[in-house]
């Protein structure tokens, strides 16, 4: 990925190795994926990266940096203020993430 590539070119290049979903505003699942718990929040990210694992998260952060996109992170909670999304930036959605954390079963 290079800083000179357009966002759609970068998404196309990354799609073959990204195990989650990379959604642009023109994609069918985009509107559903950008919704947050608070229905009054109506932000439109330039890209939604629905990460399934650690490698996806790393790739999404690198892409955001290379494309100079501001980032919002959705962790699966219900943030009333709408901080899990962003206008014209990248929403990194961790809700589909399957990461084996060392303390995942710690109680």
Q: What's the pLDDT tens digit per position in 50-62?
A: 999 999 999 999 9
The answer to whether residue 2 scores a pLDDT higher than 60 is no
**Helix (H/G/I), strand (E/B), else coil: 83:** coil
| pTM confidence score | 0.86
Q: Dihedral of the CA atoms 25, 30, 33, 37 (nearest 10)?
A: 60
Q: What ranges do the domains of the chain cover?
A: 7-93
CATH of 7-93, one of 3.90.870.10, 3.10.450.50, 3.30.43.10, 3.40.50.1820: 3.30.43.10
CA angle 48, 18, 6 (to 5 degrees): 60
Distance, in Å, from the CA atom of 15 to the CA atom of 13, rounded to the nearest integer, reads 6
Q: How high is the pLDDT of residue 36? A: 87
Distance, in Å, from the CA atom of 19 to the CA atom of 12, rounded to the nearest integer, reads 13
Give me 83's structure tokens: 């901080």
The answer to whether residue 97 scores a pLDDT higher than 90 is no
């Amino acid at each position: 990925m290079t800083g000179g590539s357009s966002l759609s070119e970068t998404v196309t290049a990354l799609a073959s190795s990204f195990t989650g979903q990379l959604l642009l505003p023109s994609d069918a699942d985009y509107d559903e994926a950008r919704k947050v718990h608070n229905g009054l929040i109506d932000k439109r990210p330039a890209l939604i990266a629905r990460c399934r694992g650690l490698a996806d998260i790393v790739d999404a952060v690198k892409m955001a940096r290379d494309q100079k996109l501001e980032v919002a992170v959705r962790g699966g909670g219900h943030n009333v203020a709408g901080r899990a999304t962003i206008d014209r930036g990248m929403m990194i959605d961790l809700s589909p993430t399957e990461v084996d954390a060392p303390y995942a079963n710690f109680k």
